[in-house]
Structure 1
Amino acid sequence: MKNKKTYFGSLIILGKSNTGKSTLLNRLMNKNISITSFRTNSTKNCITGIKTDKEFQCVYLDTPGTINNIKQKEIIKRIIKTERKYMSILYLTKYLYWDNEDFLFLKDIKKYNIPVILLINKIDTIKKKENILSYIKKIKNKFIFSEIIPISSKTGENIDRLISLIKQKLLLRPHIFPKNYTTHSSVSFMISEITRKKILFFLKKEIPYNIQVLIKKLKIIKGEYYINAVIKTKYSKYIKILIGKNGSMIKKLSTSARKEIQIFLKKRVHFFLTVI
């Protein structure tokens, strides 16, 4: 019996802040792998999503921060050097948001000879869709892309077309991960990200985006999760905000986070959240 042909590759999702990188990853994975927020720079780690669809296996890397940050550029280059043999790039921009910063960044990584698929995101916000074609023609003169696709990671418009193209980019080689794997991220990391997302959602600009959530204890007793988490902040003024009047805010954060963690783990969760 002949071995079944399998295809594998990795895609790094790049772009400036607030272009929808995390939302795109969640859409491609068809589940919430990466934190999404209205706040820019909300992704602090390089999230790995692993998607296996029959003979196709793809690893998605959602990068944190912005492309103009020196430290961030080094992280991206390190990833590219390691993965470039099996890699393509998904580069996100928004309609009319392309500028010299995008061009300089892509020019800098051109030396790696990696295919770059340009995704013009958030087209659901464009009133005159006919303007997109002229915009694409303009961008084609800026850089050589393997493909340019207008998408909406929010509504899913053209995502099927993108997934079909991604599969074409994968190489004929064995899968690296078991088919049921969806992320490298540990359970503790995912719990901390869910909790941090709730903080950003409920407190908006009152709290800095780089707030930390640490998982101090995670136990499974008779099939139920018992989790102790701590919100860590350097400044005492944020402690009062996070606790709220008579503990109202910390209770709201804890309850909302617990419900989403419970959905993620598919088990009953006992969640205890404090602030230091």
Structure 2
Amino acid sequence: MKIAYLGPKNSFSFQAASQLGEENEFIPYPSIPMCLQALKSDALDYALVPIENSLEGSVHATVDQFFQTTGLVVLGEIILPIRQQLLVNPGTTLPGKILSHPQALAQSQQFLESHFPEVPMEAVSSTTFAAEWVANHPDKKYAAIASEEAAKEYSLEILGKDIQDNAYNQTRFWIVGNEKQQTFDFLGPTTKMTLFVTLPANLPGALHKVLSTFAWRNIDLTKVESRPLKTNLGEYFFIIELTVDENEALIEQAVKEMESLKIGVRLIGHYPIKVCS
């Protein structure tokens, strides 16, 4: 299978994609929209993209691109622990600048403020790009925040180990395919459902009505989040996620009730979850 991921190689997205089997062909793309667009063009079988980090929240590029693209569904989810390392070329003790992806910089803020308060930071496209750049410019004596795998790939030393602010730092990744493909059932028995919900403009208390359809059926929602529709100021769609167990018939009834109120409901996936250690 050909699987797109947010590259380059040895990124956390690559590590998550590797959970699907090393026999697959993994193809890196420089951005999340490009991953999903390549999948939509039938150049690939699947795409794996980050959807949420436990410290920094949702990955808006994934949510918004998914909302704007029809015909794609979530077929599985992989939850990967994120352990950030401060990487340098051998011999570097005080970096002149620290490079990484914006989320990695944010996830390591306490360590950086405590140990390198005077060192400037620069955001780049990915953690692995930062590691590669540092390795290719040893004269600069810069540092990168990236994975331990990136350190091995580019022969860098770990100046600071597991520097993320929270030991429980995790990122969720979606495995995305087309509507005719089967879910990745080998990932695990626990399943989740994700809905995109759009409210009618002339329905008073519309969001309350949406939540009530789940509440009175005792359906526990694991996430409710709004994103702008990018039409007019104050117009939003909502991402609703819930765990599916013995309540699937009740969920179907809740969806039908919302649709009867002219509330737009789009099922984007009912899928298994794998939590990596």
TM-score, normalised with respect to structure 1 = 0.28
Higher helix share: 1
Higher strand share: 2
The structure with higher relative contact order (CA 8 Å, sep 6+) is: 2
